[in-house]
């Protein structure tokens, strides 16, 4: 690959990682664009109904008055999460705060706003290495040697008595050896520092009139990650509704495998991707909850569990 092609590809990638968020919300039975209410030149949306005559400082828009009081925060958060297409919103620092006017302030930020906590680790990379110091080096897992067994001798080696295999397994499960790497290979989608994080955020505060307002010092500009189409967004267990959960349990009870269940739930949901691993984990949690309700312990054998199910 020549240098020009390489530079063009890198430039295209960097361009895709910088984009502006659209923000259409429901207000008075219709959808309006409130992106003009954010930024240094923020203005009130011209088609926004039921707006006050005078705004608080640093705000130009009041949300629909149906969102009234602290108890209506969750529906408002769900509406804003659905309105921000292409990213996933999370509550900053997982808590709430107050401003100088003692008003409740909530900050919803892009999931790439969070920074990886590396206070207890040292990221040291040596020349010629792609991983930090302390990580165990990858080795060849299978290597043919001159003294390797072959043919019937190799098959005989695999056909050891079960008692011998149990002894070997017991020795390995006694505990980890002291020769463990200082660090392990991990992967995270979080930013490595505050400079590389995505600064898209929505600041919402509860006014003295008990209604929610959008702060004009919010940001709708994404950096460091591309736009994610809704049909490619990976869904989690929190996105599964109660009705879909009942269907999932019924499909698992009739013997459908997790990949088939995930495909059915994905079609029922309409958008997004449901992984079979997520369905498998939810199935295990539902099974444990059912066993706990029946009084089945974790140390029960499969025969004892079956007898308990038959005695219901």
Residue 46 lies in a domain: yes
Residue 148 lies in a domain: no
State the pLDDT at residue 185.
60
Give Cβ neighbours of residue 210 (< 8 Å, ≥ 6 apart).
68, 69
CA 38 – CA 45 distance, rounded (Å) = 10
Same domain, 250 and 302: yes
Residue 291 lies in a domain: yes
Number of domain units in the chain: 2
Same domain, 289 and 199: no
Same domain, 300 and 274: yes
Q: How far is CA 32 from the centre of its chain?
A: 28
Same domain, 297 and 204: no
With residue 83 as reference, give the H or E element that holds it: helix 73-83
State the pLDDT at residue 186.
62
Q: Choose the final residue of a domain: 200, 227, 254.
A: 227
Structural domain boundaries, residue 85? 9-115+192-227
Tokens of 289: 């909850």
Same domain, 202 and 304: no
State the pLDDT at residue 14.
87
One pLDDT digit (tens) per residue for the chain, 312 residues: 788 888 888 889 888 889 999 999 999 889 999 999 999 899 999 999 989 989 998 899 999 999 999 999 999 998 998 899 888 888 886 556 666 566 788 999 998 888 776 555 555 666 666 666 666 666 655 555 655 555 555 555 555 555 554 555 554 444 555 555 555 666 666 777 778 889 899 999 998 899 999 999 999 999 988 888 877 777 778 778 888 888 888 888 888 888 888 888 888 877 778 888 888 888 888 888 888 888 888 788 888 888 887 887
Same domain, 16 and 106: yes
Same domain, 289 and 200: no
Q: Choose the final residue of a domain: 179, 207, 227.
A: 227
Say whether 10 sits in a helix, a strand or coil: helix
Strand partners for 24 = 33
Same domain, 14 and 111: yes
Residue 63: Cβ within 10 Å count: 22
């Amino acid at each position: 690959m020549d240098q020009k092609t390489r530079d063009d590809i890198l430039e295209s990638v960097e361009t895709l990682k910088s984009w502006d968020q659209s923000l259409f919300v429901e207000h008075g039975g219709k959808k309006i664009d409130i992106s003009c209410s954010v930024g240094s030149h923020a203005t009130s949306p011209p088609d926004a109904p039921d707006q006050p005559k005078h705004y608080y400082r640093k705000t130009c828009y009041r949300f629909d008055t149906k969102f009234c009081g602290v108890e209506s925060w969750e529906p408002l958060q769900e509406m804003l999460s659905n309105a921000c297409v292409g990213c996933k919103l999370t509550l900053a620092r997982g808590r709430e705060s107050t401003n100088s006017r003692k008003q409740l302030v909530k900050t919803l930020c892009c999931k790439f706003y969070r920074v990886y906590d590396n206070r207890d680790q040292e990221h040291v990379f040596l020349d010629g290495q792609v991983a930090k110091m302390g990580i165990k080096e990858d080795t060849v897992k299978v290597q043919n040697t001159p003294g390797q067994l072959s043919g019937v001798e190799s098959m005989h080696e695999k056909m050891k008595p079960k008692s011998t295999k149990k002894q070997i397994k017991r020795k390995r499960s006694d505990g980890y050896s002291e020769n463990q790497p200082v660090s392990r290979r991990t992967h995270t989608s979080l930013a490595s520092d505050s400079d590389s994080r995505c600064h898209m955020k929505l600041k919402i505060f509860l006014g003295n009139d008990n209604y929610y307002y959008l702060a004009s010092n919010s940001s709708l500009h994404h950096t460091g990650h591309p736009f994610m189409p809704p049909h490619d967004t990976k869904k989690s267990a929190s996105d599964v509704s109660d009705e879909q959960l009942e269907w999932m349990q019924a499909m698992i009870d009739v013997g459908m495998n997790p990949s088939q269940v995930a495909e059915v739930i994905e079609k029922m949901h309409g958008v997004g991707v449901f992984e079979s691993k997520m369905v498998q984990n939810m199935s295990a949690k539902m099974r444990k909850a059912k066993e706990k309700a029946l009084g089945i312990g974790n140390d029960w054998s499969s025969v004892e569990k079956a007898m308990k199910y038959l005695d219901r």
